[in-house]
Amino acid sequence: MSLFTDKEVKALDELFHEVGVYRHSKDLKELFDFIKKFPKIAPFNAFLLHIQKPGSQYVASASEWREQFNRTIKPGARPLVILWPFAPVRFVFELEDTDGKDPFPEALLKPFQTNGTLAKPALDRLIRNLPRDGVSYHEADHGTGSAGFIEVAKGHGTQDAGKKKGKVLYHLVVNQNHSKEEKFATIAHELGHLYCGHLGTPNENWWPDRRKEHINIREFEAESVAWLVCERAGIKNPSAEYLSGYMNENAQIPQVSLENVLKAAGMIEAMTLRGLSLRKEVVV
């Protein structure tokens, strides 16, 4: 189900396209670098933090500050609002709005360095969760210049998904000769296309049908999704070169949907963290 109603999506489009927030390359780069700093928070929530307080370094609820860091909220501090599962919103406070005698752990301000190494369980969980959305995963013996692709499945195939069988709606093919980091980046890129609606949609409640978007928009969105997912996982990725090159050569970005980019990145990250059940529409 979408995080937003149609009215809320239109409000976001107005913010991005009509008001011009994040339309300039330097502003989007600043936003993405900010989101990268908060790997424990969903990408869209990190975006909300940036809108409310761009200089934020670390956020937590009042109880988390008290119990985990022995810090209290300063009188008059204004809470920041983020979305929260099974509740409308959650209130959090930024580090500078707290007091405490103990020094704050410096390591938490730099959660990771992009060192190019991916924990194998993250890739394994991501692949195991692909059937949830009807994606069938394949590895093929391709040349080094071919990373992979995703396509709409023809026919009515099925696949095993744990103790259940699921419909095959898409085929995702990845180069078997690549490293686990390269495979992860490829999957993130191709799922970016899928979850941003570039291949259409089996159900409008899953993600929108955006097949008519210009190829430049589709590619920029998929590269953005892959960059966010990989950078927040602490690995280098080829999307960095694409985005850096584009932003250096163009003052403004294409008319992309940041809502869809951030939502897609969050969906992929969730697939790396835990096992997810098949969508009921996929179950055979």
Q: How far apart are CA 236 and CA 214, in angstroms?
A: 27
pLDDT at 270: 96
Give CA–CA dist 192/186, Å, rounded. Answer: 10
Q: What is the pLDDT of residue 1?
A: 41
What integer pLDDT is reported at residue 20 of this predicted model?
62
The tens digit of pLDDT for each residue in 34-45 reads 999 999 999 999
Distance CA(108)–CA(87), nearest Å, equals: 26
Which tens digits make up the pLDDT trace of 70-81? 999 999 999 999
Token reading at 95: 């580090």
Residue 16's pLDDT band, with cuts at 50, 70 and 90, is: low
Residue from 11, 46, 47, 278 nearest 161 by CA: 278
Condensed to tens digits (0 to 9), the pLDDT of residues 180-203 reads: 999 999 999 999 999 999 999 999
Using CA atoms, how far residue 139 sits from 108, 171, 175, in Å, is 37, 11, 6
Q: How confident is the model at residue 17 (pLDDT cuts 50, 70, 90)?
A: low
Phi, psi of 240 (to 5 degrees): -60, -40
User: Higher confidence at residue 156 or residue 219?
Assistant: 219
Q: Give the chain's end-to-end CA distance (angstroms, integer).
A: 20
The 10s digit of each residue's pLDDT in 165-181 is: 999 999 999 999 999 99
Say whether pLDDT at 127 is over 70.
yes
C-alpha closest to that of 235 among 198, 176, 187, 270: 187
Average pLDDT of the residues of the chain: 90
Q: Which residue has the tokens 């194998």?
A: 120
**pLDDT (0 to 100) of residue 266:** 96
pLDDT at 2: 46
CA dist 151 and 93 (Å) reads 43
At residue 111, does pLDDT exceed 70? no
